[in-house]
A and B are shown apart, each in its own frame.
Chain A
Amino acid sequence: MWSQIVEEWPRFATYYNFLFIAKAAGTTLALSALGCVFGSLIGLGLAVCRVTTSRWLAPVRVVALLLTEVFRRVPFLVTLMLCFFAFQATGYDIPLFVVAAVSVTLIAGAFLGEIIRGGFKSVHVNQWEAAAAMNFSLIDTIRLVVLPQAWRIVLPPAFGFFVMFIKDTALASQIGVIELTYVGKVLNNKGFSAALSFGVILLVYFLISYPLSRLGAHLEARLASSRHRRA
């Protein structure tokens, strides 16, 4: 295997191959970034919906619960296919990147909704009651009382999920989005050995993911310890 890689390397290490890989890495990063941003917004919305108490909003709570539970229990590949065919059925010509971004966002929203809800639950019930006693609206309670305390709990696992999305976007290659995994397949089809083409792709993923997961671990240690200090 090694001799083969050494033999192929000069042919592989061309400017255009590297440019191809770099562009694909950009697509992978853009997909995960979109998933993070919109997923966080959806997740926050779902979490807020689920902590409402009004009887009239019961249907909203049920819908939010169903959305989180369903998208957490359907594999990414199946969600991706559903989005792909649903967009196709609308008859519009929607770019594959958008299809992939929408499916990443749906999954991200469901998972982050659970994480944020966990953060909400970690804020002591007295705080919620005090805010209610001060006649804060639900949005004000969350904005001024709960989120300033919950973000320390929410951030470390949320960061862990952001790093996970980078790897989950690999499946977007299945609908033809030209991201890292797709490039691995293309390079393999161009005649480079699988060990070389997929090995390089694995390495690129690692170079993106490893620094971020280290940052996540650092964040966790820092936020968790400061929480203990205060307690």
Chain B
Amino acid sequence: MSYTLQYGQIWPFLPRLLEGAVVSLQIAVLAFCGGLFIGTACAAIRTFGPRWLARVAGLYVVFFTNTPQLVQIYFLYFALPDMGILLSSFAAVVIGMTLNAGAYLTEIQRAGFESRRASEMEAAEVMGFTRLQQIRYVILPHVARVLFPPLSNQFIIVTLGTSMAAVFGVEELTGEAFNINSQTFRSIEVFTVTAGIYVVLTLAASVALAFMGRALFRARTELI
């Protein structure tokens, strides 16, 4: 093996990688929040909604969890212009990832909704709560505690998924790594540094989420 590692050439590019990491986090937060909204709505529909609507939500989940995210974004990015909808690569990636995260979050949230206790629901009914009030005041606070660990786990998965955006030319962390690689040809160095940034980023996110969960919901999250 005649390859000699030369990290010296990479350090000047570190600020660009960090800028990319910020974009990665932006995509992750956007996709996760959008996905959480879709997931909550779909889980509520699947648990409480009319049957035909529950079936539609079920089809959405089954389709998006059984096909690769990358191909879904390819489809959005390349097929929608044929229908007259032009998306920037950033928008296509965020929409694709939101829809994908929404499907997984529906399944996670549904497990949470199903973990509610029958007695609590009966108590709420006796108090004359409407369906919406039952969800808002009884189910959500109760399931937040149960759901926090799997949700923060999913956030990490979404964060890792943002690296896919590089394929569509978005200049997030992996995208910047591709750019710097084509400028310096120090491939192993660039990608080890990138991998290190991802490890630090997701580790920091995990720790922050674990503390947040403990403080807000007394959720028990394992740190490592």
Contacts and interface: CB of A to CB of B under 8 A. Distances in A.
Interface of A: 1, 4, 65, 69-70, 73-79, 81-82, 85-86, 88-91, 163, 167-168, 170-171, 173-174, 180-181, 184-185, 188, 193-195, 198-199, 201-202, 205-206, 209-210, 213
B3 A89 contact: yes
Given A77-B174, A194-B81, 12 more contacts: A1-B82, A69-B224, A75-B164, A75-B198, A81-B191, A89-B188, A90-B3, A181-B70, A195-B82, A205-B67, A205-B71, A210-B66
A25 B108 CA distance: 29
19 contacts: A1-B79, A1-B82, A70-B195, A75-B163, A77-B174, A79-B195, A81-B177, A85-B187, A89-B1, A89-B3, A90-B3, A91-B1, A91-B2, A170-B71, A181-B71, A193-B79, A194-B75, A194-B81, A206-B67
A167 B79 contact: no
A213 B66 contact: yes
B67 A167 contact: yes
Contacts of A188: 78
A206 B66 contact: yes
B75 A78 contact: no
A167 B71 CA distance: 9
A1 B83 CA distance: 6
B70 A86 contact: no
Given A89-B3, A167-B68, A193-B82, A74 B75 contact: no
B187 A88 contact: yes
B1 to A, nearest CB: 5
**Which applies to chain A's interface (DSSP): helix, strand, loop or mixed?**
helix
A75 to B, nearest CB: 4
A82 B160 contact: no
B195 A82 contact: yes
Interface residues of B, number: 41
A74 B68 contact: no
A195 B79 contact: yes
Instruction: Specify which of A1, A73, A180 lies most central, judged by the most chain B CB atoms within 10 Å of its CB.
Output: A73
B166 interface: yes
B203 interface: yes
B33 interface: no
B65 A213 contact: yes
A184 B1 CA distance: 36
Interface string B168-208: 00000010010000000001100110110011001100000
A78 B161 CA distance: 11
Contacts of B83: 1
Instruction: Specify which of B3, B66, B199 lies most central, judged by the most chain A CB atoms within 10 Å of its CB.
Output: B66
A175 to B, nearest CB: 11
Nearest to B24: A75
Contact of A195 (B75, B160, B163): B75
A82 B71 contact: no
Contacts of A1: 79, 82-83
A76 B78 CA distance: 23
B69 interface: yes
